[in-house]
Amino acid sequence: MNKVLMLVNWKVRYCKEEPSDLQPPDFVCEGEPYWFFRYFKGDWDVDVVDVRSLPAIERFEKENLRFYIIQTLRVIPRLGEYDLIVSHGMQSGVLLSLWRRLFKTKAKHVVFDIGSFASASEEGMALKLMQMASKSIDGLIYHTSSQITYYRKFFPWLVDKAQFIPFGTDLEFFEADDVSPFFDGRPYCTCIGSAKRDWDTVVEAYRSLKTDLRLKIIGYVDDKYLGIPGVDMIPAVPVQEMRSYIKGALFCVLPLEVYNYSYGQMTLMQQMAMGKCVVAAEAPSLVDYAVDGESAVFYRPLDVDDCSKKLRSVIENKDYRERIGSLAPVWLRDERNEEKMAHEIESCFCKWLRGTNV
């Protein structure tokens, strides 16, 4: 049996029965394998520790430090119990990595590098800190293929230890059969998210269309866009309500900003899993997760004219829109499912535990 300690950079719900309102990464069910470990073929015993602390400390660590101290201090006395330590995000790995540079542990340390260490920084103290800490890492998993160019330039000692594994979505949770569509009598498309969204491009492109179709921005409210005809701004909603908005939409829009790290993929794939055509910015974090013109529609980032053109194409061509929406979940099921991701992760874990590179 492999004993694993998993440090996640969010809060999870610890419960006795599987909740219906949370996705697998967000809960730990007593007696059941956590998240993607449920697909592992080997014998793995996993303990999950989240970032919970006193509210004031949590806010300070998240908003000011940008990494978690209390989480690491909670587990340091227990490190000798494990064969493998997994940090999901360097926010939950940097302090532990620094500790392991001073005090060797029998457990190997693997990091899921979601944010390209310090948001793909190319200078400054944050980069220097991450470079120093990363030299104790035994394995690295990343979900955006272009991140390897960043590692080659700033973290060359990790290139042979790094493995690109596409993120896989939980198709069952986002199946649309049991969801009632939102309907207020007016057709609409959705645009879901808050941070790192290029609202200016999508709103300007939408305004140029002069369409009766409404644009519902869900999860973000800005006075800048209030009063624009056809634009509805809705604060963040519970996941079940979000699914209802997605189900009722003609299509979805995902206007990501361009960064060389992983984000926005879950939003894209959740909408694809629900059978929606998604018009998305061709950002580095998304190009591994759909095929343009087949399972999604990409537009050039920051290009209002191209965004407008792609929006018009799916508004005016129902067959095109519905074909992409019907192919999207099929493509996900074949190429980006959670079980496939889990098997690739397990293979890497086994290699790193043996002390070999991928």
Which string of DSSP letters, residue by residue, matches 246-301? HHH-S-EEE-B---SS--SHHHHHHHHHTT--EEEE--TTTTTS--BTTTBEEE-T
- What mean pLDDT comes out for the span 238-256? 94
Question: How high is the mean pLDDT of the chain?
Answer: 94
Summarize pLDDT for 110-155 with one digit per residue, the tens: 999 999 998 999 999 999 999 999 999 999 999 999 999 999 999 9
Quote the pTM value.
Answer: 0.92
| pLDDT value at residue 28 | 96
Strand ranges, E, within 259-325: 278-281, 297-299
2-168+338-353 and 188-335: identical CATH topology: yes
Using DSSP, state whether 170 is helix, strand or coil.
coil
pLDDT value at 358 more than 70: no
Nearest CA-CA partner of 116 in 87, 86, 90? 90
Summarize pLDDT for 47-78 with one digit per residue, the tens: 999 999 999 999 999 999 889 999 999 999 99
d(CA 314, CA 38): 38
pLDDT value at 165 more than 90: yes
Domain 2-168+338-353 class, CATH top level: alpha beta
Our measurement of the distance from residue 256's CA atom to the centroid of its chain's CA atoms, rounded to an integer in Å, reads: 13
Nearest CA-CA partner of 321 in 354, 270, 284, 277? 277
The token pair at 42 is 């080997």
**Sign for the pseudo-dihedral over CA of 128, 146, 298, 179:** negative
Architecture of domain 188-335: 3-Layer(aba) Sandwich (3.40)
Q: Could you state, in order of their start, the residue ranges of all structural domains in the chain?
A: 2-168+338-353, 188-335
